[in-house]
Structures are given as structure tokens and as C-alpha cells.
Structure 1
Amino acid sequence: MQTPPLLNVVLRQKETHTVIVLAGVMDRDSVPAFTAAMAEVSRAGAAAVHVDLSAVAFCDCSGLTALLTAARDSRTEGRTWQAYAPSPAALRLFTLTGTAGILLGSGSRVSGPDETAAKRFEDRSPASPV
């Protein structure tokens, strides 16, 4: 019996951009599926890439690194790149690491209980004593 993939990756071509839909777990074992999709999009010469994160159940530092690398490489190659509709798990990771603005666009405003944690991370200030 074959184990189902941890991360399901679907490419959808729209008129003005390519959408990569991610569903499942983004960790060191599953990130190569996303990386392969990004390489395919790059080879195809897509002008814009949108990454749908609404069904990402878990994302660790490997997944975060893959997303940041994809964003950086796409922008370096002149391609617009933006993640959108982050799941609660993905949004929490982006908020805690201060990467929401990079991945979700500079106009993104993250608010809620994790906003203070994100600000503290960005400032590198120590947490207040409990």
C-alpha cells in the first residue's frame, strides 16, 4: 500500500497568472513537491504566480524557507509572486516570524493575538517576564 503524499500540489493556469494550490503538510519531506512546481512555473515563463495556502494544515521552517526562496527567486527573475488565503497555521507562522509582509504582500496587515509576538520578533526585543 502506497502512502499518500503529505502535500498535494495543483497548478492552475489563469489568464494573467499561474496559481499553485497547496494542501496538506509543508515540511522537509514534502517541500520538494512545491519546489518542483515552482521550477515548472519558471520553465513555463509565467509572468505572475499566486500561491494558495488556504489548505495548508502545517508549515515548518522548511516550508517557510521554500516559500521565501520561491518569492525571492521569482522577484529576481522579474515575476510577480504572492501567497494568499493563508490557513490559520500558515498565518501564525508568518506572523511569529515577521514574514507576512514578504509572503502576503506589503499591504498585508496582520492583526490579532499574534500581532504583539510578530512585533517583538521584528524588534528582537525580549519577552516580558511572566
Structure 2
Amino acid sequence: MPLPPLNIYRHDRRTRALITLVGEIDLETVPPMRTTLERCLREGMRTIDVDLTPVTFCDCSGLSAFIDAFLRTAAAGGTLCLHHPPPMLAWMIELTGADFLLLGPSAVPGPGSRPAVPLATAPDPLPTGFEMSHRLVAALPAVAGGVL
């Protein structure tokens, strides 16, 4: 049975981009996601918000791609933040200690404390009005099986 495609939507406002991913993120669907994130940097986006609300699955190749994108964005003087990761990805982020990198400063508990709610259910909110101000447009076409 073929995997559902990963649909990627991008909305820009000045030097800020909102990337919405829809579907499954795995070894075969990471390349178009990586391409979109790299294109954001090449085009001058320095704040990249990634909405993962409609993502149904993300494996370690997706986590690796997000960490790589974070490092590239930080090296360019920007920020990358994941919003609403699916439970498995939130667990992998917390397990690897990457939550302070990928989920933003408000997701990091203070010294000696633990968050009352798991990170998967308490992500940073998306910027108010940002995602609603313009219609999202597909950054890359979806292809059956998730491969271009």
C-alpha cells in the first residue's frame, strides 16, 4: 500500500515563513521538506515556524531533518520553531533533549521542574493572525507515494 503524500504549504510575510506540513514525514518524504526549509533560508526568511498539526507520523529521519534545519537557520542568524508536533515526534524531541532547540524557549521548564502537561499537548501557539492573514499556497506539489 503506498504511503500518503506529504503536502507542504508555505506562507511568507517579510522575513518570516509559516510552513504547514500535512501527511507523513519519513525517509522518503523528508527531501521535499528539507528543500522547502532550505529555500526559505535562501530567500531571506529568518524566522521559520513549522506547523505540524496535520502530520500523522514522523520518524527519526524527520527529527534529524528538523535539527539540521534548525542548525542551518541558527547559523544564518534566524530561528526555527516546531508547533503542535505529533505525539511520537514530541516524545523523540524530549527524549533527545532537543526540545529547547525546536520547541522554543517557553517549552523549556525552569531548573528542577517538569512541565505539568506533556510537550505534545502544550506547544507554543502560532503567531496570532499570521496564518490567517493570507491563503496558504502549496510550496511543492504532492506526489502519490510521497516521492518526487
- Could you tell me how far 1:65 is from its partner in structure 2? 0.4
Unaligned residue ranges in structure 2 (runs of 5+): 109-114, 120-148
> Which 4+ runs in 1 deviate beyond 6 A?
none
| Superposed displacement of residue 15, structure 1 | 4.9
Q: 1:61 to 1:25 in 2, by over 3 A?
A: same
> Unaligned regions of 5+ residues in structure 1, if any?
115-130
Deviation of 1:93 after TM superposition, in Å, equals 2.2
Q: Which moved more, 1:63-72 or 1:75-84?
A: 75-84
Asked whether the equivalents of residues 8 and 24 of structure 1 are also in contact (C-alpha less than 8 Å), the reply is yes
TM-score (norm 2): 0.66
Q: In the alignment, which residue of structure 2 is the partner of 1:36? A: 35
CA distance in 1, matches of 2:56, 2:92: 12
Residue-by-residue CA offset, 1:8-55 (whole Å, 9 max, x unaligned): 111111355100111111111000011110121112111211111112
Q: Calculate percent identity across the aligned residue pairs.
A: 32
Q: Give distance in 1, aligned partners of 2:90 and 2:10.
A: 22
Alignment TM-score, normalising by the size of structure 1: 0.74
Cα separation, 2, equivalents of 1:14 and 1:72: 22
Greater relative contact order structure (CA < 8 Å, 6+ sep): 2
- Could you tell me which residue of structure 1 aligns to residue 51 of structure 2? 52
Q: Do the aligned partners of 1:56 and 1:89 also contact (CA within 8 Å) in 2? A: no
Q: How many residues align?
A: 112
Superposed CA offset, 1:70-120 (max 9, x none)? 001000011121111222232122123222221101320455579xxxxxx
RMSD: 2.1
For residues 67 and 61 of structure 1, what CA distance do their matches in structure 2 show? 10
In structure 2, distance between residues paired with 1:106 and 1:10 = 25
